Structure 1
Amino acid sequence: NFDSACDVFFLRLWNMGAVVSTLEAKQRDAALLSQVSQIRQTKAARDIQASMQIATIRDRVLWITAYYGAVGVLALARSSWMRYKRIPFHFDNVFIPLNMVAFVIPPFALGYQVDLVYFNKSNRIAEEAAKIRSGEPHRWFNQHWLPQSDDSDLWFNQPLELPVALKPAYATYMESMNNAQISEGQLPLKDWARFTRRDT
């Protein structure tokens, strides 16, 4: 009869609406999951770039320190020679001549390039950058005579602040990634985001 036909029609219509709603929810969840994945990839690229810059600067600091150390040794040797020869010190000869300072530059500039080409400078910088990103205390370039650094408080080692709407997608993403890590015998990933609710 007409009433039963209407009931069947509206039941089917309701079922179709439920299916459409489920599909929309799945599409929304997939979009949020994709957004979380893209955010992590962007953060990883940014962290690598920042840590590589810091590691490169640390390497240059060591070379510049070695250069000034060599200039200091040269100045000390010159001063000792002048004392040995009993040459009196006055304003014109107390300072090391600029040509002697410039004479030390080319060997260090060449040594820097040779180190880059033949002695795996790029690998050392990449390893130092990885240590920086790990946030664990370590000696620069794993050398016991170099300064110790704790990079855990650097800005890119801090968790990102994400909107609360991404929290379920983040939890799903991390669960999937950690399951893959554990299945390969690797340690789980550390949390890289935190969630804040902004009240308007």
Structure 2
Amino acid sequence: MGPPGAGKTTLAVSLEGLLRREIVSLDQGRAIRYRRFGYTAARADRWFEEGGARALHRYESRFEVRALGHELEHRPDALIDASGGVLLQKDPDNEQRLAACLLKAHSVILVLPYAHDIHRSQKEIERRLAVRAETDPGTAEWVQKGGRELLSDLVLVAHEYRSAVDHTFDPVSGRTYTKPSASTTPDHTLVTNCLRTIAAAETHFDSW
């Protein structure tokens, strides 16, 4: 989990090689993945055209949390690469759904650059998205239509969730912060050891 551009997918790929588990990316094929919950791509496009990034998030976030719950139920051993907006839920029912997902997951990893400094987190993720926007027209349009302002809220809520997740991984320093009360199950311990292995081997976290 984490804001857009934090490095979630890069970490998931690294973990995939160590854990030998399937990656499920909630951002890929969302029109099909969310359809069972009532999502339509045409409606999402209309929300974005009429209201920009915030309106699109209001529409999509309800489906993101439902899709997360569905994958946790049906693929409990998969590596789930959650969408960048799932942590920001405005509806109380969806906030409860998200809380239930965090409890159900074996290990929850928050990917957050400069995890102890919200202002540096904001600047770093803005920088990463600006780089992505240079070659990705979709990202460029999202930033131009209110994405940068929405990003502030997404970074803020990610910092607020640091105490609720099992691990916070900082892709800038390569450090992992594990909650003292985190589970000590074999699966959790395996994930912890894998994060340490990635941190020890990776020397260019700033490119994530």
Q: Please tell me the TM-score bracket, short chain as reference.
A: under 0.3
Relative contact order: is structure 1 or structure 2 higher (C-alpha 8 Å, sep ≥ 6)? Answer: 2
- Report the structure, 1 or 2, having the larger helix content: 1
TM-score by length of structure 2 reads 0.20
Higher-Rg structure is: 1
TM-score by length of structure 1 reads 0.21
